[in-house]
Amino acid sequence: GNSVTQMEGPVTLSEEAFLTINCTYTATGYPSLFWYVQYPGEGLQLLLKATKADDKGSNKGFEATYRKETTSFHLEKGSVQVSDSAVYFCALRAAGNKLTFGGGTRVLVKP
């Protein structure tokens, strides 16, 4: 079946540091890939997405590139802010239409 593996947190960073959250997946066919973000006390919001190999999704300074050869979709941001403190979820949606999530990575940015 489909699965998503992402690095466990928590990840603690100082403001303006570089952030990388690794995500790899296993899927049949050609899934769409997503990063969702969950701020404290809120629901999940779509952060960015990519639908085919070599696509780069970007939003709010975050980027992730769909790498089919390594089955990865790593999330990066060059300079984090305190407001980026949240839980980040990598996910895929394949032909079965079910969204499969990774376990989530908690990120804490300190001033």
- Residue 1 as a binder of another protein (CB under 8 A): the answer is no
Nearer to another protein, 78 or 103 (CB): 103
Cross-strand partners of 106: 87
Q: Is residue 95 a contact point for another protein (CB under 8 A)?
A: yes
Among 17, 44, 58, 72, binds another protein (CB under 8 A): 44
Q: In the structure encoding, which two tokens stand for residue 62, read together?
A: 């975050």
Q: Give φ, ψ of 83 to 5 degrees.
A: -70, -10
Based on CB atoms, which residue is closest to another protein, 17 or 71?
Answer: 71
Structure-token pair, residue 91:
């996910």
According to the binding rule CB under 8 A, does residue 108 interact with another protein? no
Residue type at 34? F
The verdict on 93 binding another protein (CB under 8 A) reads yes
For 107, the enclosing helix (H) or strand (E) is: strand 105-110
Q: Which residues pair with 15 in a beta bridge?
A: none
CB of 67 to another protein, least distance (A): 18
SS3 state of residue 82: helix
Among 45, 79, 81, 83, binds another protein (CB under 8 A): 45
In three-state secondary structure terms, 87 is strand
The contact set with another protein (CB under 8 A) reads 32, 34, 36, 42-46, 49, 51, 89, 93-95, 97-99, 101, 103-104
